[in-house]
Amino acid sequence: MAILDPMLVVSVPANITANTGVDVLTHALEAYVSLRANDFTDALAEKATQIVFQYLPVAVNKGDCLATRGKMHNASTLAGMAFSQAGLGLNHAIAHQLGGQFHLPHGLANALLLPSVIRFNARDPRAAKRYARLAKVCRLCPESANETTCLNALTQRIEQLKKQCAIPTLAEALKDQKQAYTPRIPAMAEAALADITLQTNPRTTDASAIRELLEALL
C-alpha cells in the first residue's frame, strides 16, 4: 500500500524534488528496457515517463501546487510498480557507487548518468527500438522518425529537463571532493559490476566500459 498525500511533500525543497523526480524517470526508463520488461511494466513505465516530463518542472518551481505534487506521486508509484517487476539496470548500478563513495543524492547520481547510459544501452538493437518507441509515446518525435532521431530526441529532452530543474554537473556536486573522484573510478567500476541491478540491464558491460562512463562525467 502507498499513501499518496500531496500535502506531505509541499514543503520538500526544490533540489530534493528535482533529484527524486529524475530518480522516478530513471526507474521508468530502466524498467522499460529491462530484460524482464513485459506488457504490464511497459504500460506503467510509459505513463510514469509522460507524467515526469510534463509535471516535474512545475513541481520543482511551484512546490505548493497540490495537483502537480499529486501527479508526481502517481508517477513515482507507477515507476515503482514497473521496476519492482522488471528490475533496473546499469544506471542504478553506477549511481549506487557514486552515492556510496561521495554521498551524492541518489536521484542526482542517476540524473548525471542517464543520457550517457541511454546512449550506451542503445547500441543493443532491442534497447534502441524500445527507447525509440518510448520517445514516440511521449511525443518527442514524429511516428515516422527513425531510431537515431528518436534516441536523440529522448536524450535531448532529458537534458532539457535537467536544466529546467537546475540539476548540477558532477563537478559542481562534488565540490571539494573533486580531486578524489578519478582515483576512485576503478573501485567504483568493479563495485558496479557486482551490483544486483545490473542483472536486468539490456546490454552486457564490463569494467572498462563503466570506467569510460564515469570518466566522461567529469
**Residue 175 maps to a domain:** yes
**Residue 41 maps to a domain:** yes
**Residue 1 maps to a domain:** no
**Residue 2 pLDDT greater than 80, yes or no:** no
**Residue 171 maps to a domain:** yes
Considering its fold, how many domains does the chain have in total?
1
At residue 4 the predicted structure's pLDDT band, cuts being 50, 70 and 90, is: confident
**Residue 59 maps to a domain:** yes
**Residue 187 pLDDT greater than 70, yes or no:** yes
Give the Å distances, CA to CA, from 176 to 14, 48, 64, 162, 179.
23, 35, 33, 23, 7
**CA pair distance 38, 86, nearest whole angstrom:** 7
**Residue 2 maps to a domain:** no
CATH number of the domain encompassing residue 175 = 1.20.1090.10
pLDDT tens across 168-184, in order? Answer: 999 999 998 999 999 99
What is the predicted pLDDT for the residue at 62? 96
**Residue 45 maps to a domain:** yes
| Mean predicted confidence (pLDDT) in 115-124 | 98
Give the Å distances, CA to CA, from 194 to 147, 179, 214.
31, 25, 16
What is the predicted pLDDT for the residue at 1? 64
**Residue 196 maps to a domain:** yes
| Mean predicted confidence (pLDDT) in 140-169 | 97
Q: Which domain holds residue 125?
A: 8-217
End-to-end distance of the chain based on CA atoms, in angstroms?
40
What does the angle CA 18 – CA 22 – CA 145 come to, to the nearest 5 degrees? 130
pLDDT tens across 191-205, in order? Answer: 999 999 999 999 999
| Mean predicted confidence (pLDDT) in 105-121 | 98
**CA pair distance 15, 67, nearest whole angstrom:** 19
